[in-house]
Amino acid sequence: MLLIAYYFCLPKQLFIDPTATIIKSNSGELLGAYIAKDGQWRFPHNDSIPNKFKECIILFEDEYFYRHPGFNPISIIKALKSNVSSGKVKRGGSTLTQQTIRLSRKGQARTYIEKLKELILATRLELKYSKEKILSYYSSNAPFGGNVVGLDAAAWRYFNRNANALSWAESATLAVLPNAPSLIYPGKNQKRLLEKRNKLLEKLLEKKHIDSLTYALSILEELPQKPYPLPQIAPHLLQHVAQTNNGKRIITSLQTHVQKETNTIVKTHYKQLQQNEIYNMAVLVLDVHTRKIVAYVGNTPTDSKHQNAVDIINKPRSTGSIFKPFLYAAMLDAGELLPNTLVPDVPSKFGNYNPQNYNKRYDGAVTAKRALARSLNVPSVRLLQQFGLNRFYHYLQQLKLKDLKYNANHYGLSLILGGAESNLWDLCKSYAAMAGTLNHFDEHSSQYYSNEFLEPSFLADTSVDFGTLETEKTIFDAASIYLTFESMKSVNRPENEQNWDYFDASKPIAWKTGTSFGFRDAWAIGVTKNYVVGVWVGNADGEGRPGLVGLQAAAPVLFDVFNILPYSTWFNKPFDEMQEVDLCNKSGHRASSICDDTSRQFIQISGLKTKACPYHKLVHLDPSEQYQVNSSCASISDIKHKSWFVLPPLMSFYYRSKNPFYKPLPPYRNNCETTENKSMQFIYPKASETVFLPKDFDGSTQELVFKLAHFKPETTVFWYLNDTFIGSTKAIHDMAIQPSTGKHTITVVDEFGNETKRFIEISD
């Protein structure tokens, strides 16, 4: 029975005290710590004990540690004699093993009965654990003065470094502290602490643990005067870790130098932005190959008034234009777009939704690639309408963006311009998965991983599972991603990087900015073969500020972070998902038989489904090529046939102002009969629109200006309001009218007899 009792006398868990939450970098450097729940700086148990401290503590506390069974009879006898002769407890005979037991049984009175219990438990501890394990228990739980418990915490609090980086003098200082932690600790009883340390150093010299030079240098080292604050290099990641791993030591994937430099970059830009009352920022750096977090900055070093404790990386914010590359890639993937396909960029209205470009200007027609690079809103909304809202929403769902909580109709066409919310973590994850798809396609004989779009990790000791290799794409095919990144690479960089493309050492980066409505959120996300960097800038409370736009506020941070990362080469072209075809250089479509300016270019294989160029038409001209003719006014032998690039009237109206070499179709010769239509188009107002008449400061009603685009601007057009003639225009087709309230019909007829109508309702 005694043997059974002895066997089970040791607690299953020797120490149950709460410990601090610790995060370290991938190289083992301390990034941050949360104090334990009981207010003690007690780090989680550490089996590793630095050799210097080990030799110091054994020589100071228990010189026969490796030779006794848990207690030292000679030390006990000497202690009894000394205590009996003095009439009080003057000397202890406890071994390090007994002290470990006493630390685990805190609060027990120091009586001879208790000493006997400690002795029995010490022998049981020696039978259960190795000497090294016992020593690690002691080192992790010994008191070091104040609220500092354990060697690891003491090394950081008193010397601001890891325990394995301590000098002999520093190790000796910590070795003598547990002997009387309430009386001697840094900043208190310095003389007595110095005497104890130097006496131990002298003993180390005598025992030849150190040489005379080391001893001479060690006694010259000063004692610490006050505790250092623990490092807080990644406080918001620490906050995130503490929610699920409280009281544990977590080795993260963060790289210390990247994290520190990113912190410095954020602090520098914060000082500039706060002058414009912009106080918050978040930056995430992700390794594309491993999907591990390299740097994690959840907020700026602002104050509590501006919510500095809020980790914004996982908070939903309005996306602005940051979804546009996903739409571009989806349309390429579905074979409904080519990079240089012309997209209408004209004033547009979709029901009650009236999107506008940021600069309030229009190009008439712009290539899809350029529309993405310039982040034009109207072409993006038109592309979304063409592609299908629900269809695009399905792609976004596959990306697993957790903040898309409503159905597609809830967001409408504004989905592409910031009508939805997302967070920096999910966006960086998605762009990293796209980059990873390209990398793996190139590395694995044109195959795709089944689990490419996975969750990143900040844990160093975990590896992500990309799934199995398959021939089928996961979401986007490699060619569509490559062409999307090529378009994003051509985005103009911020002002301080204006000439970036002229430098050989510049880094090729595919990047995109975003700005939410009301200037509340500024985004910038960049992708290379190796890294993804995501930046959000704004105010945590959602307050908008002028100048809070992606290009001005977030992009400079993005490029500063990329400048501290290693150089990345550009992605390899995925030829197995591409095919070389003839393209029309003017329209960007696949060349038709009448396109007169073509080139051979690689497109995604799905792009073979796109229609041939619709903007080239074969026209019939007189010998001078100044007039169009037909068989009604010219003989067949005198008619010249020529390919002509022709845009619809409204597109043409804006396009020719930006493209001086664009030539409108020549007019028909006067003696020719023609049934040509669609020669003109209203710019304003939109069809079936309710218009409110503007009023001046004095309350008087102002005129309403109607605008028309004619295929041939020099043509005279005639305006009618409800069948009443009101005037004519030539070259500039603007007509000022002051109609009464109610429903009206505006009719316009040109000199060739072409007619167009617009129905409106005037409201006061």
pLDDT, tens digit, for every residue of 148-188? 999 999 999 999 999 999 999 999 999 998 877 666 666 67
Residue 323 has pLDDT above 90, yes or no: yes
State residue 500's pLDDT score: 45
**Residues 21-34: tens digit of each pLDDT:** 999 999 999 999 99
**pLDDT for 5:** 78
- Residue range 712-725: average pLDDT? 80
Q: Are 679 and 712 in contact (CB under 8 A)?
A: yes
What pLDDT is attached to residue 494? 56
At 676, the pLDDT band (50, 70, 90 cuts) reads low
Q: What is the predicted pLDDT for the residue at 583?
A: 96
Predicted confidence band of residue 86 (pLDDT cuts 50, 70, 90)? low
Which residues pair with residue 522 across a beta bridge? 515, 537
> Would you give the distance in Å from CA 94 to the centre of its chain?
56
3-state secondary structure of 612: strand
Where is pLDDT greater, at 179 or 365?
365
Q: How large is the average pLDDT for residues 719-748?
A: 83
Q: How far apart are CA 141 and CA 134, in angstroms?
A: 11
**Structure tokens given for 635:** 């003989």
- Residue 502 has a pLDDT of 42
pLDDT of residue 679: 72
Average pLDDT, integer, range 130-141: 94
HSE, side-chain direction, 13 A CA sphere, residue 45: 14
Looking at residue 750, what is its pLDDT? 81
Identify the pLDDT of residue 754.
Answer: 76
Residues of the chain with CATH 1.10.3810.10: 2-21+29-218
- CATH of the domain spanning 316-493: 3.40.710.10
| SS3 state of residue 759 | strand
Rounded to an integer, what distance in angstroms lies between the CA atom of residue 60 and that of residue 96? 10
**Mean predicted confidence (pLDDT) in 703-716:** 82
Residue 49 predicted with pLDDT over 90: yes
Collapse the DSSP code of 466 into the 3-class scheme (helix H, G, I; strand E, B; otherwise coil) and give the result.
Answer: coil
Three-state secondary-structure class, residue 178: helix
Q: How far apart are CA 170 and CA 191, in angstroms?
A: 16
Nearest-CA neighbor of 281 among 261, 302, 260, 295?
Answer: 302
pLDDT band at 76 (very low <50, low <70, confident <90, very high): low
Band (pLDDT 50/70/90 cuts) for residue 651 is: confident
3-state secondary structure 98-131: HHHHHHHCCCCCCCHHHHHHHHHHHHHHHHHCCH
Average pLDDT over residues 734-750: 85
Q: How buried is 465 (Cβ within 10 angstroms: 0-12 exposed, 13-18 middle, 19+ buried)?
A: exposed
pLDDT of residue 122: 84
DSSP-derived 3-state class of residue 719: strand
Arch. (CATH architecture) of 2-21+29-218: Orthogonal Bundle (1.10)
**Conformation bin of residue 374: beta by default, left when phi > 0, alpha when psi is -120 to 50:** alpha
81 pLDDT band, cuts 50/70/90, is low
CATH 3.40.710.10 domain position(s) in the chain: 316-493
| 6-20, 179-193, 337-351, 386-400: the lowest-pLDDT one | 179-193
With bands split at pLDDT 50, 70 and 90, how would you rate the model's confidence at 503? very low
Residue range 631-647: average pLDDT?
88
Mean pLDDT for 325-335 is: 96
Q: Which residue has the higher pLDDT, 337 or 759?
A: 337
Whole-angstrom distance, CA of residue 102 vs CA of residue 79: 17
Q: Using 50, 70 and 90 to split pLDDT, how confident is the model at 511?
A: very high
Look at residue 498 in the predicted model and tell me its pLDDT: 47
**pLDDT of 100 above 80:** yes
| pLDDT band, residue 762 (cuts 50/70/90) | confident
| pLDDT higher at 169 or 100 | 169
* Distance separating alpha carbons of residues 552 and 276, to the nearest angstrom: 12
Of residues 81 and 388, the one with the higher pLDDT is 388
Alpha helices (H) along 511-610? 555-562
Q: What's CA 266's distance to the chain center, in Å? A: 14
Q: In the predicted model, what is the mean pLDDT of residues 675-688? A: 73
pLDDT at 322 over 50: yes
Mean pLDDT score of the chain, rounded to an integer? 88
**Confidence band for 501, pLDDT divided at 50, 70 and 90:** very low
Token pair listed for 284: 């995430």
Q: Band the pLDDT of 115: cuts 50, 70, 90.
A: confident
- pLDDT at residue 620 is higher than 80: yes
First CA to last CA across the chain, in angstroms? 101
What pLDDT score does 504 carry?
39
Best-predicted range by mean pLDDT (95-109, 297-311, 641-655, 682-696):
297-311
Give the model's confidence band at 146: pLDDT under 50 very low, under 70 low, under 90 confident, else very high. confident
CATH 2.60.40.10 segments of the chain: 680-763
Of residues 691 and 569, which shows the higher confidence score?
A: 569
State pLDDT tens for residues 410-460: 999 999 999 999 999 999 999 999 999 999 999 999 999 999 999 999 999
Measure Cα distances from 193 to 51, 176, 188, 200, 206 in Å.
Answer: 22, 8, 8, 11, 20
Average pLDDT over residues 321-327: 95
Percent of the chain with pLDDT strictly greater than 90: 60
Q: How would you classify the pairing of strands 30-34 and 21-24?
A: antiparallel
CATH class entry, domain 680-763: mainly beta
Asked whether the CA dihedral 559, 563, 565, 570 is positive or negative, the reply is positive
3-state helix, strand, coil in the chain (%, to 5): 35, 20, 45
